[in-house]
Amino acid sequence: MAEIRGIEAVVFDVLGTLVDEPRGLRAAIREATPASDDAVVDELVTSWQQHGERQQQRIRQGARPYANTDILDSEAARRVADLAGIADPAVIARLATASRRLPPWDDSVDALGRLARRFPVLGLSSAGRTALLHLSAHAGLRWHHVLSAEDVEAYKPAPEVYRLAVDAAGCPPERVLMVAAHAWDLRGAQAAGLRTAYVQRPVGDPPTGADTFDWRFRELGQLVGALTESHVASG
């Protein structure tokens, strides 16, 4: 198991790393369109995700003023509603809050609980503050602190988002570990001076041969083991 030394705080990406976003969106869209078959639901999920990614990219490029994920999700819900022929305002309004009800991966809750007994544990997400509040409660994610990129009106991988975590941790960036299932997210953290740990997820963005992340793990249990063992050894 990889040895981890010199870490004072652990920061987790949320969407995709700790919760299964596609599965949650699929469930919400199926609830809104019960007559749709699996292929149609998958197409609607893709449409939703593509809208969010496209609009976040436009915001990063300065082509659109900042809008938080609640706004982008409302737009995505209306887009899905138009494609699926949904006209009921109540159904569309509930669909717009789908990102607040994403299920955790099987190991997420236990891993956070175990780490939180030894390290300050933070969440760092592009999701808006209100969405993060409800998502944390729904998924049972327990943090010492959870940070939203909405606080700096930016989206990852903007450097100011990672500075939020460093400032909250109150220690040098090289003593802060960023954990994510997305290589693009870890590259942003790495550029900001944080240590990095990739955790494999079915919906993640795997590293390329050019990536030089500090650690890589197949699942969160390995990461927790490596961190807790190093903490005991250093204590």
Q: How confident is the model at residue 231 (pLDDT cuts 50, 70, 90)?
A: low
How far is residue 155's CA from residue 6's CA, in Å, rounded to a whole number?
A: 28
Tens digit of each residue's pLDDT (9 = 90 or more) over 79-98: 999 999 999 999 999 999 99
The two structure tokens encoding residue 103: 């299920």
- What's the pTM value of the predicted model, to 2 decimals? 0.94
Q: What is the pLDDT of residues 142-159, one digit of tens each?
A: 999 999 999 999 999 999
Residue ranges covered by each domain of the chain: 9-20+103-234, 21-100
Do the Cβ atoms of 73 and 49 come closer than 8 Å? no
Higher pLDDT among residues 1 and 169, named by residue = 169
- Residue among 46, 51, 17 at smallest CA distance from 29: 46
CATH of domain 9-20+103-234: 3.40.50.1000
Contact in structure between 195 and 10 (CB atoms under 8 Å): no
Tell me the pLDDT band of 4, cut-offs 50, 70 and 90: confident
Mean pLDDT score, 27-54: 97
The token pair that represents 186 in the structure block: 């870890």
**Rg of the Cα atoms in the chain:** 18
**CB contact at 8 A, 100 and 73:** no
Q: Residue 2's pLDDT is what?
A: 59
pLDDT digits over 38-47, tens only? 999 999 999 9
As beta bridge partners, residue 10 has 121, 177
